[in-house]
Structure formats: C-alpha cells, structure tokens
Amino acid sequence: MKKHIPLLLSILIAGCIDQGHHQDVGDIPFDRAMDDPDFNLCGEESSIKQYYVRGSDHKPAGYKGEKRALEEAITEQYVFPVSESESGYVTIRFVVNCRGQSGRFRVEKMDFNYQPKNFNPELVQQLLDITRNLNGWIPVSREGKTYDFYQYLTFKIRNGQIEKILP
C-alpha cells in the first residue's frame, strides 16, 4: 500500500473543480493562462478516459515501446547535478489526445513524507520540458475509434537524480 501512496496523493491533490459539467478527481480542465490553445481534444471534455482505461483493439495504449522506452527517453535527456536537498516526488499530469499529442500539463511536488515541497525550479522545468517533448504516446483505441486519455508520470527524485519513474 505504501508504494501506491504517491499515486493516490497525486490524484487527490489534483482536486475536482465543478464547472457546470461532470468531472472526476484528477480531471484537467483547460486553463487559458497555462495551456496551449492549439492542443485540441478529439472528444468532449467529459469523455477523456482515465490513464488506467486501455484499448481493446489489440493495440496497446500508453507509450510506444512501453515503460522501458519511456524511461530511456527520459533518462537519456535528464541532467541535473547531485543535490542532497532535491529529494521527493514530482508528478506531472497531462492529457494525451486521440492523435497521440500531449497537453494540459500540471505539476505537483512533495517530499518523501507526502508534504508539499519546493524543488529547484530548474529541476522541475527540465522534467516538464522532457515530458512535454515525449513523442510516442499511443491513444486509447476501442472498436476502431481512438480516444483522449489522462496520463501521469511521477518521478521519485533522490539527491537530484531520478531514482524511479512511476507508474
């Protein structure tokens, strides 16, 4: 159970904002101040699938090459000096649309005791930039139709280095 706490906290921290239509905890509504207006959903706002809803058309949704390829794409780009003060979790949540494009990035940061934490802004920006530039997302596909879905990556950082990438 303890290993699942970062995921649960990330989802709970995300909150739920009622904007006149159905939303679930973890939904990411469009924010004019933060989001790229050229990132378009393929379906309705309320039809974005959660990250754990996967396709059934014998095409795996998620990342091309699965977790190993995702981790390699991130770790080969990440460069940050060892720093004892930079330890905890950085979670980046976002939406992948039916074309495999990502947008609506949100960042949550906490220490190993699951308390809010301020990381070095350069570390966080680097993780965010790498995540934004990942090319290889595979949308959810069901009965010949592709769908938008929510995704998250939680980086377990120890001494400024990526120790683990969840999920």
Query: What percent of the chain stands above pLDDT 70?
Result: 77
Give the DSSP letter string of 45-97.
GGGPBPTT---SSS---EETTHHHHHHHHHHTT------TT--EEEEEEEEE-
CA geometry: angle at 72 spanning 68 and 77, to 5°? 160
Does residue 11 have a pLDDT over 50?
no
Cβ neighbours of 120 (radius 10 Å): 14
**78 within 8 A of 126, measured Cβ to Cβ:** yes
Over residues 120-163, the pLDDT tens digits come to 999 999 999 999 999 999 887 877 888 888 899 999 999 999 99
Domain residue ranges in the chain: 2-166
- pTM for this prediction: 0.78
Q: Which residue has the higher pLDDT, 125 or 57?
A: 125
Exposure b/e, 69-81, CB count within 10 A at least 16 = b: ebbebbeeebebe
Instruction: Output the six-digit token pair for 83.
Output: 């720093």
